């Protein structure tokens, strides 16, 4: 059935109707129209085959058509039916409609001239891998994988879905089976097939399913870069060189371009700088391409390896990391199950900043503060995974390492050039492509300027946190030091007094030489222990260090304050009122307009003189616009980026030095704390030893008394005659009620009077210390325990009555108790 509307006609098949004006595309074998189902009205695409192909189709076994109809997968185009057009009786393939056109038509847009942006590229990669995997499971070999046979559909969320189509060349292939018929598109053909199909050389060899892997490699490269990987000079017609390039390429090479006639081939193992993929992704997809583009089929990646690698890439976590050393924002791809150490390793590989040198901040915190370093990345807080991280090099080298974008040279139009619509359309297309690339660079340059500044703020806030923490820690450290100092003084004071007692007691023991020897021995050993001044010296050093930390922090805080003032006063970078992005977009749209007009001119082939005049003047205009756009980028945005990089970079350099300073103060604080801990242990040990020796000495004196020896020293009287404070008037409790005191009271010899004086002095000194001890104990309950110990070895007379009572309540052993017991 056929109806006409203007120049176009309505055509229909059994279930579908379409207008010949609604052409979706034209291929070598068919024209594809947008059609509707006759009863449901559902939109679909119909591929109306040319006459000769329809005849071929008639010969295609029904079984194979049925096979294609049965394919149901998200990434494989659904074939609804095979019918015949009512009038011509040519075959019509009704299939799923893809509103986004083909991947080829996308790559043909100037916007994607240098390849797809990262996110879109990944969708293509995941979708074609998924579609291919399904075909593999169905034992189907496609044989014509290329961007033109990958269709794009836009889902309800505006997200692209890519679908494999055009199974004209596809056939079912049993495992290990090979086929000999040749299909495919030259640039995407496996080298062995190319030799057979294009060079027409006879080959005994059959071609297995691996031919799809090569075509996939070329397609992926094309999608990533916008260009074919293997380009002989002169293009498609230079078949021998094409064959030479694809067969002589070394393993790992992913592109080979011949720029001059019979010239050298430029081999590359990496992706071009104009490719929009991030360095981390490039490092993952380059080996995929190299593996697929292996001319030696035995070395070529297998489907399993390809599917597995793409799947693990799909499952990876991504982390946004701004590298302040290069001024570039990177997206890191890392296995979900990996941990932070792996992250550091990857960063080191990509940025050449060793793990120990990496300072990674999330807002104002070091990453180690916001994640569990041993946790799998998938268990990191979502905010960190989706947030922005900043990478600094701790020992920053002051060399400029700013990543500069590569801007291809603007193609030249000369007013003297003869008008060639074909060539002009190509040059305008390329100019438009450069314009799009430049707009992307402008956006990136502005983003990088902002990130540079945000990185500085982040670092400044981080230092603020560090310094506040240190400033809070210093008083604690000082307090701890004071406590240690008191404790040490107490220790030395107590044992000095005890030594004093023993010095007084020793001459009084002369009637009992054995006992005197024992007590003298303990006396000497205690004296030896307390003569070690090392703990005092160490404590002094710690005190000095603590004082230094305080002074150092004051200096640092002043420095930070000054630097902050300086940082606020400078203003670098593109300002909002500069409207850089808008200007760039505007210039680009004008360039695009001319490029589109040139494409139309090319199709027209001839123009009236007026339009030709417009065309000629637009040749100069498009060039001027592009020059303006590139100079906006280079003369403004990149220059500002450079300035930001150097000014902000300088600030970052100063801040990093401050980080090092704060780290040093932190180290000092922790070494003071360590020192105090060690000192505390040391004093504990000395105290324990002295306590035991004092117990032994005390036991000696006790035995001495028990055996009936008297101590003829009137200490009590001596004490009463020389009071200096209310407390000091009192007899020390130990002596007041003990047998020792009563013995002392009965003696009145001249020699004991001298000794009594000496002892009085010591008691006076001891009493003074007892007040300090009391204060200390009242301030700090811990010290009570120390006094407990003092009581245990019989120096309770150094304590005030209250304290003594408190110790006694807690059941402390007393000299008195010991003597009575």
Q: Which of 144, 166, 212, 601 is catalytic?
A: 144
Q: How many other C-beta atoms are found inside a 10 Å radius of the C-beta of residue 137?
A: 9
Q: Which two tokens stand for residue 783?
A: 């010290």
- Residue selected from 35, 48, 77, 313 as contacting ligand ATP according to rule CB under 6 A: 77
| 3-state secondary structure (DSSP) of residue 399 | coil
Backbone CA torsion sign across 457, 460, 465, 471: negative
Q: Does 25 bind ligand ATP (CB under 6 A)?
A: yes
For ligand ATP, the closer of residues 27 and 411 by Cβ is 27
**Longest C-alpha distance within the chain, in Å?**
148
| Closest to 377 measured CA to CA, from 366, 390, 367 | 367
Helices (H), 391-420: none
- Residue selected from 16, 18, 91, 97 as contacting ligand ATP according to rule CB under 6 A: 97
Q: Which residues pair with 317 in a beta bridge?
A: 334
| 3-state secondary structure (DSSP) of residue 685 | helix
Of 146-154, 299-307, 600-608, 735-743: span binding ligand ATP (CB under 6 A): 146-154
φ, ψ at 203 (rounded to 5°): -130, 140
Ramachandran sector of residue 727 (left: φ over 0; alpha: ψ -120 to 50; beta: rest): alpha
Of 22-30, 117-125, 481-489, 675-683: span binding ligand ATP (CB under 6 A): 22-30
Shortest Å, Cβ 106 to ligand ATP? 10
Is 166 noted as a catalytic residue in this protein? no
* Cβ atoms 71, 78 nearer than 8 A: yes
For ligand ATP, the closer of residues 116 and 622 by Cβ is 116
Shortest Å, Cβ 48 to ligand ATP? 10
680 to 480, 609, 690, 738, 758: CA distances (angstroms)? 11, 100, 15, 34, 32
417-423 contacts at long range (C-beta below 8 A, 24 or more positions apart): 417/619, 419/612, 419/615, 419/616, 421/598, 421/601, 421/602, 421/604, 421/605, 421/607, 421/615, 422/602
Q: Would you say 565 is a known binding-site residue?
A: no
For ligand ATP, the closer of residues 64 and 483 by Cβ is 64
- Residue selected from 16, 35, 45, 694 as contacting ligand ATP according to rule CB under 6 A: 45
| Closest to 328 measured CA to CA, from 438, 452, 440, 436 | 452
Shortest Å, Cβ 348 to ligand ATP? 45
| 3-state secondary structure (DSSP) of residue 307 | helix
| Closest to 712 measured CA to CA, from 740, 734, 674 | 740
* Cβ atoms 288, 309 nearer than 8 A: yes
| Block residue for tokens 């009575």 | 820
Distance CA 719, CA 753 (A): 11
For ligand ATP, the closer of residues 148 and 256 by Cβ is 148
Q: Does 81 bind ligand ATP (CB under 6 A)?
A: no
Shortest Å, Cβ 90 to ligand ATP? 13
* Cβ atoms 655, 567 nearer than 8 A: no
Of 92-100, 638-646, 793-801, 805-813: span binding ligand ATP (CB under 6 A): 92-100
Shortest Å, Cβ 69 to ligand ATP? 14
For ligand ATP, the closer of residues 149 and 640 by Cβ is 149
Of 27-35, 110-118, 277-285, 763-771: span binding ligand ATP (CB under 6 A): 27-35
For ligand ATP, the closer of residues 144 and 456 by Cβ is 144
- Residue selected from 110, 115, 147, 148 as contacting ligand ATP according to rule CB under 6 A: 148
| Block residue for tokens 């011509």 | 88
625 to 583, 604, 622, 632: CA distances (angstroms)? 11, 25, 5, 10
- Residue selected from 48, 76, 98, 591 as contacting ligand ATP according to rule CB under 6 A: 98
Of 21-29, 395-403, 753-761, 767-775: span binding ligand ATP (CB under 6 A): 21-29
Shortest Å, Cβ 104 to ligand ATP? 6
Q: Does 391 bind ligand ATP (CB under 6 A)?
A: no
Q: Does 210 bind ligand ATP (CB under 6 A)?
A: no
Angle (deg, nearest 10), helices 303-314 and 118-137: 140
Q: Does 57 bind ligand ATP (CB under 6 A)?
A: no
| 3-state secondary structure (DSSP) of residue 736 | helix
Question: How many alpha carbons fall within 13 Å on the CB side of residue 427?
Answer: 22
For ligand ATP, the closer of residues 18 and 97 by Cβ is 97
Q: Does 95 bind ligand ATP (CB under 6 A)?
A: yes
Distance CA 317, CA 110 (A): 31
Task: Tell me 155's DSSP state.
Answer: -
Distance CA 776, CA 770 (A): 10
Q: Give Cα 233 to chain centroid, integer Å.
A: 43
Q: Does 68 bind ligand ATP (CB under 6 A)?
A: no
- Residue selected from 82, 116, 122, 151 as contacting ligand ATP according to rule CB under 6 A: 151
- Residue selected from 17, 18, 24, 79 as contacting ligand ATP according to rule CB under 6 A: 24
For ligand ATP, the closer of residues 150 and 731 by Cβ is 150
Q: Does 30 bind ligand ATP (CB under 6 A)?
A: yes
Q: Which two tokens stand for residue 683?
A: 């004093």
* Cβ atoms 363, 458 nearer than 8 A: yes
For ligand ATP, the closer of residues 93 and 334 by Cβ is 93
For ligand ATP, the closer of residues 53 and 741 by Cβ is 53
For ligand ATP, the closer of residues 55 and 468 by Cβ is 55
Residue number of the CB atom closest to ligand ATP: 27
Segment holding 273, helix H or strand E: none
Of 96-104, 596-604, 614-622, 650-658: span binding ligand ATP (CB under 6 A): 96-104
Q: Does 166 bind ligand ATP (CB under 6 A)?
A: yes
Q: Which residues pair with 231 in a beta bridge?
A: 257
Q: Does 184 bind ligand ATP (CB under 6 A)?
A: no
Q: Does 48 bind ligand ATP (CB under 6 A)?
A: no
Q: Does 27 bind ligand ATP (CB under 6 A)?
A: yes
- Residue selected from 69, 78, 88, 105 as contacting ligand ATP according to rule CB under 6 A: 105
Shortest Å, Cβ 414 to ligand ATP? 35
Shortest Å, Cβ 36 to ligand ATP? 13
- Count of H-run helices and E-run strands, the chain: 26, 19
How many residues sit in the footprint of ligand ATP (CB under 6 A)?
Answer: 24
Looking at the chain, how many residues does it have? 821
For ligand ATP, the closer of residues 77 and 648 by Cβ is 77
Question: E-assigned strands of 347-487?
Answer: 358-362, 365-366, 388-393
Shortest Å, Cβ 93 to ligand ATP? 9
Shortest Å, Cβ 111 to ligand ATP? 17
Distance CA 332, CA 278 (A): 8
Distance CA 195, CA 179 (A): 15
Q: Does 92 bind ligand ATP (CB under 6 A)?
A: no
Shortest Å, Cβ 79 to ligand ATP? 9
Segment holding 10, helix H or strand E: strand 8-12
- Residue selected from 168, 226, 440, 700 as contacting ligand ATP according to rule CB under 6 A: 168
Of 24-32, 67-75, 111-119, 338-346: span binding ligand ATP (CB under 6 A): 24-32
Q: Does 160 bind ligand ATP (CB under 6 A)?
A: no
Give contact residues for ligand ATP (rule: CB under 6 A). 24-30, 32, 45, 47, 77, 95-98, 101-102, 105, 148-149, 151, 165-166, 168
Which positions are annotated as active-site residues? Answer: 144
Binding-site residue positions:
47
Binding-site residue positions for ATP:
47
């Amino acid at each position: 059935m056929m109806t006409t509307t203007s120049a176009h006609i309505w055509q229909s098949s059994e279930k579908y109707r379409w207008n010949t004006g609604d052409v979706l595309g034209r291929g070598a074998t068919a024209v594809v129209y947008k059609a509707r189902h006759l009863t449901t009205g559902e939109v679909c695409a119909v591929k109306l085959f040319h006459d000769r192909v329809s005849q071929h189709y008639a010969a295609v076994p029904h079984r194979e058509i049925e096979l294609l109809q049965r394919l149901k997968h998200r990434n494989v185009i659904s074939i609804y039916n095979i019918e015949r057009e009512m009038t011509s009786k040519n075959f019509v393939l009704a299939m799923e409609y893809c509103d986004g056109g083909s991947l080829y038509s996308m790559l043909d847009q100037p916007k994607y001239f240098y390849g797809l942006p990262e996110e879109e590229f990944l969708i293509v990669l995941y979708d074609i891998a998924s579609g291919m995997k399904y075909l593999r499971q169905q034992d189907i070999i496609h044989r014509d994988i290329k961007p033109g046979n990958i269709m794009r559909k836009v889902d309800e969320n505006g997200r692209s879905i890519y679908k494999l189509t055009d199974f004209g060349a596809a056939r079912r292939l049993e495992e290990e089976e090979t086929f000999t018929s040749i299909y495919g598109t030259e640039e995407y053909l496996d080298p062995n097939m190319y030799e057979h199909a294009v060079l027409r050389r006879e080959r005994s060899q059959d071609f297995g399913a691996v031919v799809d892997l090569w075509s996939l490699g070329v397609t992926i490269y094309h999608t990533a870069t916008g260009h074919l990987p293997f380009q002989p000079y002169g293009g498609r017609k230079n078949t021998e060189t094409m064959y030479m390039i694809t067969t002589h390429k070394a393993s790992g090479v992913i592109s080979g371009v011949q720029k001059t006639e019979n010239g050298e081939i430029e081999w590359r193992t990496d992706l071009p700088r104009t490719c929009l993929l991030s360095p981390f992704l490039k490092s993952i997809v380059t080996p995929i391409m190299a593996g697929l583009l292996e001319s030696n089929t035995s070395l070529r990646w297998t489907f399993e390896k390809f599917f597995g690698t793409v799947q693990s890439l799909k499952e990876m976590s991504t982390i946004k990391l701004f590298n302040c050393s290069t001024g570039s924002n990177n997206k890191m791809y890392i296995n979900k199950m990996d941990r932070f150490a792996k992250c550091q390793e990857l960063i080191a590989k990509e940025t050449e900043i060793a793990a120990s040198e990496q300072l990674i901040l999330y807002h104002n915190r070091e990453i180690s503060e916001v994640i569990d370093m041993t946790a799998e990345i998938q268990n990191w807080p979502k905010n960190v995974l989706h947030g922005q991280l900043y990478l600094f090099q701790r020992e920053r080298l002051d060399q400029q390492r700013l990543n500069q974008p590569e801007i291809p040279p603007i193609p030249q139009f000369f007013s003297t050039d003869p008008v060639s619509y074909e060539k002009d359309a190509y040059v305008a297309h390329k100019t438009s492509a450069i314009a799009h690339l430049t707009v992307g660079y402008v956006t990136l340059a502005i983003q990088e300027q902002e990130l540079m500044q945000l990185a500085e703020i982040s670092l400044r806030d981080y230092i603020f946190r560090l310094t506040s923490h240190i400033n809070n820690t210093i008083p604690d450290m000082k307090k701890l030091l004071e406590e240690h100092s008191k404790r040490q003084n107490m220790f030395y004071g107590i044992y000095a007094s005890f030594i004093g007692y023993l010095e007084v007691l020793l001459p009084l023991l002369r009637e009992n030489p054995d006992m005197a020897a024992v007590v003298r021995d303990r006396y000497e050993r205690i004296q030896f222990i307390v003569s070690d001044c090392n703990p005092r010296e160490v404590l002094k050093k710690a005190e000095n260090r603590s004082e230094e930390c305080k002074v150092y922090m004051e200096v640092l805080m002043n420095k930070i304050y000054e630097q902050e003032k300086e940082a606020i006063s400078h203003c670098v970078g593109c300002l909002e009122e500069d409207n850089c992005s808008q200007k760039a977009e505007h210039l680009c749209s004008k360039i695009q307009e001319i490029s589109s007009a040139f494409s139309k001119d090319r199709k027209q082939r001839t123009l009236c003189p007026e339009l030709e005049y417009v065309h000629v003047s637009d040749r100069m205009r498009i060039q001027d616009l592009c020059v303006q756009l590139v100079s906006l980028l280079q003369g403004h945005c990149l220059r500002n980026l450079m300035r930001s990089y150097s000014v902000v970079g300088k600030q970052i350099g100063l801040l990093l030095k401050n980080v090092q300073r704060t780290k040093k103060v932190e180290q000092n604080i922790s070494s003071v704390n360590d020192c105090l801990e060690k000192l505390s242990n040391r004093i504990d040990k000395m105290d324990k030893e002295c306590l035991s020796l004092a117990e032994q000495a005390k036991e000696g004196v006790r035995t001495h008394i028990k055996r009936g020896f008297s101590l003829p020293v009137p200490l009590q009287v001596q004490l009463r005659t020389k009071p200096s404070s209310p407390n000091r008037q009192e007899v020390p409790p130990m002596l007041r009620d003990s047998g020792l005191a009563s013995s002392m009271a009965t003696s009145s010899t001249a020699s004991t009077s001298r000794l009594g004086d000496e002892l009085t002095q010591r008691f006076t000194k001891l009493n003074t210390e007892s007040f300090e001890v009391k204060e200390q104990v009242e301030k700090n309950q811990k010290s009570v325990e120390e006094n407990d110990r003092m009581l245990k070895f019989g120096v309770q007379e150094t304590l005030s009555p209250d304290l003594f009572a408190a110790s006694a309540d807690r059941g402390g052993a007393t000299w008195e108790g010991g003597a009575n017991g």
